[in-house]
A and B are shown apart, each in its own frame.
Chain A
């Protein structure tokens, strides 16, 4: 049994040590894998705010991941073809600048989360799961039929977008950028969960009627959480698109929603570091099991089944011996 704090420190340490080793040993692929893990962790931290703290079982977070991806894809596509994104009501040009792309990704995915959340939060329980899943599918089919931006084939961006002062084409520099964002998002989530809003949201999950009795609106709390959650996952989507320099409707597919949820469950729901450990473990499994067998999803399925049936609390729960999150 390891104290949870040590485990968390160890994980963050791995996010520094593994790429440092890869840089020395000249293993750029390992750096790419770690970038993948960091981005997945950000996406899952987003979901953790809705699911872990707010108790909203959203099977549609791929929507926000995909919107972030397409925000990057569309802006960079127009920049690389020198065409405007829109001419009416005023001229909007494409851009290759990451900060602007991130801003657009966050704003658009928050708006989408607000609309989807307002509709879906009219219901609870199983209905909520099915409806978020259905909205995900709606975006998936919409992008497939959106011929202007590649339809089913998606969009390729030839050069990774730029960040002032950095050479993002160097894997380690792009990784550093993602790691800094991951740390900032972790810090934000930690502050959020300790804030009056975070505490009220936690209470709204556990006892909505009591929350209502003290004069707070649980649906409103959950909607705000859903919007924040969507914004963070959208940011991760923009980073993921930049990592691959490619976006396609797959980012919107229900499997992506399921995978984001798996990162969270592998690590431990409702724990600050759960998504980080889960994403790292997932990428490691994907790399290791994927090398052993083409059918590695079978093993992933069995592992997931065992965790759900017997190991509540995910990897952190197993390692620390504490099944319920306390952070």
Chain B
């Protein structure tokens, strides 16, 4: 197990974590402001990926694909918010779960109906393909490095948006007391639509970016959605900082666990048992991490309320 491999895997874990953050940030924002649990967030991720793949295939431009992913997911988010989601704010969590589960069924089957069951492919653009040599002689795919940079830029942008802009003030006020900001003359319905579309756009961006390293297919969003839930539970619901920390923790645990647990077990088990036990343990590692966080801090690492 060389040092170079370790660095490479840490970078992979970081890249995975950053993409999870894009999903988790939207979810946690929507929960924090509207008190809504949105299972259909994974569908918005899928819509982003499909928009990007379709537009990139039609125009040949990856960047246009990204723009399409952002616009498509935000539009789908705004539409869903206007038609369905806004009827759910004052209902209980069970209704929210069921209605958004129904939306998953509609979106998944609708996408299968339009694009068919076969996966689409989204190519890494030429200017981001190939490896790059990092200090220390590590060869790493440029595209994955770009994902990390883009994700961190989005995180920075989100931080500035929430802390420095008028919209951010309204969002934070909405988290604390929605009646009060409505009384102060802010159109709360419009604010909710904007927040929902913003979360949807982040999910769509993540879907398009990841779509270039995985295949774009129906049902791609739900595994990521559930991981994003784990991230939020670890980080604390409503906290964007918690989402970032939780996402990187989950990304690193998942990636490094898959590589190092079998190796570590080989030290005191025979190789074949170590590989099978190690890979089973690795697939459960993030959930064990979640259980541990829950036992120590039921409200998550940065959560204010349980």
Contacts and interface: CB of A to CB of B under 8 A. Distances in A.
B264 interface: no
Interface string B279-306: 1101110010011001100110000001
Interface string A39-79: 00000000000010000010100000000000000000000
Contacts, number: 118
Contact of B105 (A125, A129, A261, A300): A300
B287 A130 contact: no
Contact of B229 (A51, A133, A145): A133
Interface in A224-268: 254, 258, 261-262, 265
Interface in B69-116: 84, 87, 91, 93-95, 97-99, 101-106, 108-110, 112-113
Contact of B295 (A119, A126, A269, A296): A119
Contacts of A88: none
A304 interface: yes
B94 A295 contact: no
Given A123-B294, A123-B298, A254-B226, A297 B109 contact: yes
Interface string A266-289: 000100000000000000000000
B84 A122 contact: no
Interface stretch (A134-142, A163-171, A192-200): A134-142
How many chain A residues sit at the interface, stated as a range, is: 35 or more
Given A134-B229, A295-B109, A305 B103 contact: yes
Interface in B255-292: 276, 279-280, 282-284, 287, 290-291
Contact of B306 (A127, A144, A298): A127
A47 to B, nearest CB: 11
B105 A304 contact: yes
B84 A254 contact: no
B37 interface: yes
Of the four ranges (under 10, 10 to 19, 20 to 34, 35 or more), the interface on chain B belongs to: 35 or more
A134 B295 contact: no
Contact of A308 (B95, B233, B284, B306): B95
Contact of B284 (A59, A142, A302): A142
Contacts of A302: 102, 106
Contacts of A134: 226, 229-230, 233, 287, 290
Interface of A: 51, 57, 59, 119, 122-127, 129-131, 133-135, 137-138, 141-142, 144-148, 254, 258, 261-262, 265, 269, 295-298, 300-302, 304-305, 308-309
5 contacts: A123-B294, A134-B226, A142-B280, A147-B276, A297-B108
